[in-house]
Structure 1
């Protein structure tokens, strides 16, 4: 019951989305630990991780998309592949966010909402920003090649402008 009520709260309390995504995986067979974690959500809302899933060591992608000051899209989801570094996990999250921005751009254009400048995408990982800005392919980044091409293409096409932000000011950290 509590999980269902907390899931309902994610409609207005986006800061518990990550925790609820994680706890929802155990609804069919919850343990005492899961029950305690659900009760803890009522007073503790945010955390950050890289390879934080103890079972799989997969990372979490989290993002917020705003149109002006209005939140129009958000996500907190376990990544499909294990990331070898925090930079890789962050870059996968960038690619996922860029794909969402592309879809939202098409949707908003269908509603006759036009854009004159690129969407600003903030990233708190300097290595991920360097990979996106540097057109030279790095051998160490070969395993995320497709994500690299997606992000670079959207930056070059003017859909997205990547900017650094401090971790203290990174709003998307509440999803991870």
Structure 2
């Protein structure tokens, strides 16, 4: 029996050593997997951080682009207002109105509706005259037997915020 007991003991020892080797090998694999998972998690966190940073930069760039577009639109509106500061309209009675389309007060310095040395435009108020935004200066043109069918009108003006000699002009044709 002692030999049988010894064989059983050796078998148990071999089984235990085999189980210990398998457990040890699984521990090594688990440790490697844990390190790989930690590394993958760190890489994922770094990638997420880069993605957030890129999204923030993109949002900031979009905001700058939107601001630039708004500023450009405001510049274009101001440029358009500067190009077309007035609007000339004739009412049913034949009286002309020169409307201030700007958002600021302008001083009309001169209305020149002359052709061939004759002045065909007669303002109804003294010039220079201040026009608030949306206000009109009234004047007469035409109606006489010898008056031409149309005449060029040049308005010389300056903004109240501008200097005395900082003048601008606007031209249209009255028909």
TM-score (norm 2): 0.20
Higher percent of residues as strand: 2
Give the structure, 1 or 2, with the largest relative contact order (CA under 8 Å, sep 6 or more). 1
TM-score (norm 1): 0.20
